A and B are shown apart, each in its own frame.
Chain A
Amino acid sequence: MPKIKMPKSNPSLDMTPMVDLAFLLVTFFMLTASARVSEPVVVDTPSSTSDKLLPENVIMITVDDKGKTYYNINNYVVRKKTLEKMGQQYKVEFTEKEKEEFAKMTSFGVPIQSLKSYINMEDPERNAAKSPGIPLDSLNNQLGDWIQFGRIEAAKQAREQKEKAEKLGREFKYEPIRFAIKADGNANYINVKDVIKVFTDKEIYRFNLITNLEKGEE
């Protein structure tokens, strides 16, 4: 009886397609990933069913679970100019280097008086530093000033861009600056209300409350 010959299969298989795919995915994820900016505080925002995206051009006030407030403004140029104006207002001198450094930072939660030393810290030191929060009481309403100057500078920059665009004959899409409140779910509502009051005192009545997208129950 003739032996049944099993087909001799090659144990090494061609991995090329798999490697192709793997590298494709690696490239995709590398390109889409955005570096996470280090915030001075981690905020656990409450969830909601709202699926509206946060606008790009915002002044963002963060309220952490202890009720401390932090300020952030995205635009690099506006940020720098706002610091200049705040420095003038509160008689704090900032060097050009400090302004540059400040413009690169994210949100911060220190009063303007100690902002200078905060800027001059090294990154790890800064991350470890405890932020006392930006004062917002009626006697020392620094948060209100930050918002006000940020708003003015943003409007100025928008106007400059518009003029530039008009000179070049390009179209300019004006996007007004928006205001966002990113508060921790466990923050006392009273603290958030204080921030809202700062806004309404400046005649800003429309905000974006930042939330997580909730998974629908249905």
Chain B
Amino acid sequence: MAEVNTDGGGGHGKHEKKRAKKSSTKIDMTPMVDLAFLLLTFFILTSTFSKPKAMEINFPAKTEDESKNQKVKNAITFIMSKDNAIYYYNGEFYPPNNKDGAPPTTLIKTDFSKDGLHKLLLDRYKPTLDAITALEDKYKRKEIADTTLKRLVNLEKGNKDALTVLIKADDKAIYKNVIDLIDELNVCLVGKYAVVDMMPTEFELLNATNK
């Protein structure tokens, strides 16, 4: 490696004077650059930017008299079952041969597609959605302030006549479907929804429908 060349190299003996070799000031940066990019790629690929997101949800507190307070005017009940199936019925639940003489409730099947659940919700929730749109128009025309808008929208969502959604799931439903449904409700701005337990009569009906 570090050999000193004493031989003249076939010279004529004229230039005997040793001269320090002029070393270039430039160093080869290629390995360093290679390394830098390697690290860069590594960190880009391994870093995760996505912090976990969360949706907040309130569950109903247990009340002593559960039979009361159940009368809601404008309600829709979704029941989730196995194989991503989702059923719904409108209004109250009537078992066959009930004392009110109302026709027994039947479950209607729907799905998570755009024409299924989303359309259904928009349809059923139209009065409130229209009211909210009207309020937003007002806000755009600067007739009301943004805090007022927020308050009025919340009032509209909590309106007595607004759609109330009940979410129920049987023991074969998967968690993802429940989240999807809640998410859909959030997208459609539904303010009144609750995840509740199934009634035995509903369970019977579901089993009959599932067959």
B-side contacts of A30, CB under 8 Å = 39, 43
Q: Indicate whether A23 reaches chain B with its CB closer than 8 angstroms.
A: yes
Q: Which of A18, A180, A186 is within 8 Å of B175, CB to CB?
A: A186
Q: How many angstroms between the C-alpha atoms of A52 and B56 in the bound complex?
A: 8
Is A208 in contact with B56, judged by CB distance below 8 angstroms? yes
Interface flags for A1-41 (1: CB within 8 Å of B; 0: not) read 00000000000100110110011011001101110100000
Q: How many angstroms between the C-alpha atoms of A186 and B57 in the bound complex?
A: 20
Q: Indicate whether B179 reaches chain A with its CB closer than 8 angstroms.
A: yes
B-side contacts of A192, CB under 8 Å = 175, 178
Greatest chain A CB density within 10 A among B32, B40, B53, B171 is at B53
Is A52 in contact with B36, judged by CB distance below 8 angstroms? no
Q: How many angstroms between the C-alpha atoms of A190 and B197 in the bound complex?
A: 10
Minimal beta-carbon separation of A192 from chain B (angstroms): 5
B-side contacts of A18, CB under 8 Å = 33
Q: Which of B43, B54, B171, B187 is within 8 Å of A54, CB to CB?
A: B54
Is B55 in contact with A48, judged by CB distance below 8 angstroms? yes
Main secondary structure of the interface of B (DSSP, over half): mixed
Is A46 in contact with B53, judged by CB distance below 8 angstroms? no
What residue in chain A is nearest B114 (Cβ atoms)? A217
Q: Indicate whether A115 reaches chain B with its CB closer than 8 angstroms.
A: no
Q: Indicate whether A95 reaches chain B with its CB closer than 8 angstroms.
A: no
Q: Indicate whether A138 reaches chain B with its CB closer than 8 angstroms.
A: no
Q: How many angstroms between the C-alpha atoms of A105 and B134 in the bound complex?
A: 53
Q: Which of A48, A187, A214 is within 8 Å of B174, CB to CB?
A: A187
> Interface segment, A71-79, A127-135, A199-207?
A199-207
What residue in chain B is nearest A31 (Cβ atoms)? B43
Q: Indicate whether B135 reaches chain A with its CB closer than 8 angstroms.
A: no
Interface size class of A (residues with CB under 8 A): 35 or more
Main secondary structure of the interface of A (DSSP, over half): mixed
Minimal beta-carbon separation of A165 from chain B (angstroms): 27
A-B pair count, CB < 8 Å, reads: 140
For B, the interface residue count at a CB cutoff of 8 angstroms equals 42
What residue in chain A is nearest B39 (Cβ atoms)? A26
Q: How many angstroms between the C-alpha atoms of A190 and B183 in the bound complex?
A: 19
Q: Indicate whether A212 reaches chain B with its CB closer than 8 angstroms.
A: yes
Q: How many angstroms between the C-alpha atoms of A211 and B182 in the bound complex?
A: 12
Q: How many angstroms between the C-alpha atoms of A212 and B183 in the bound complex?
A: 12
A-side contacts of B47, CB under 8 Å = 29, 32-33
Q: Indicate whether B17 reaches chain A with its CB closer than 8 angstroms.
A: no
A-side contacts of B36, CB under 8 Å = 19, 22-23, 26
Interface flags for A164-196 (1: CB within 8 Å of B; 0: not) read 000000000000000010111111111111001
Is A53 in contact with B51, judged by CB distance below 8 angstroms? yes
Is B43 in contact with A186, judged by CB distance below 8 angstroms? no
Greatest chain B CB density within 10 A among A30, A46, A186 is at A46
B-side contacts of A55, CB under 8 Å = 54
Interface flags for B58-87 (1: CB within 8 Å of A; 0: not) read 111110000000000000000010000000
Q: How many angstroms between the C-alpha atoms of A26 and B53 in the bound complex?
A: 27
B-side contacts of A207, CB under 8 Å = 56-57, 59
Q: Indicate whether B23 reaches chain A with its CB closer than 8 angstroms.
A: no
Q: Which of B54, B172, B173 is within 8 Å of A210, CB to CB?
A: B54
B-side contacts of A33, CB under 8 Å = 43, 46-47
27 A-B residue contacts at CB 8 Å? Answer: A19-B32, A19-B36, A22-B36, A29-B43, A29-B47, A30-B43, A33-B46, A46-B175, A46-B179, A46-B180, A48-B53, A49-B186, A50-B55, A53-B54, A188-B171, A188-B173, A189-B175, A190-B173, A191-B175, A192-B178, A199-B59, A200-B59, A207-B59, A208-B57, A209-B179, A210-B52, A212-B52
Given contacts A26-B39, A49-B187, 11 further A-B contacts (CB under 8 A): A29-B40, A29-B44, A34-B48, A48-B179, A51-B53, A184-B175, A186-B174, A187-B174, A189-B169, A208-B54, A210-B53
Q: Which chain B residues have a beta carbon within 8 Å of chain A's beta carbons?
A: 26, 29, 32-33, 36-37, 39-40, 43-44, 46-48, 50-62, 80, 169, 171-180, 182-183, 186-187
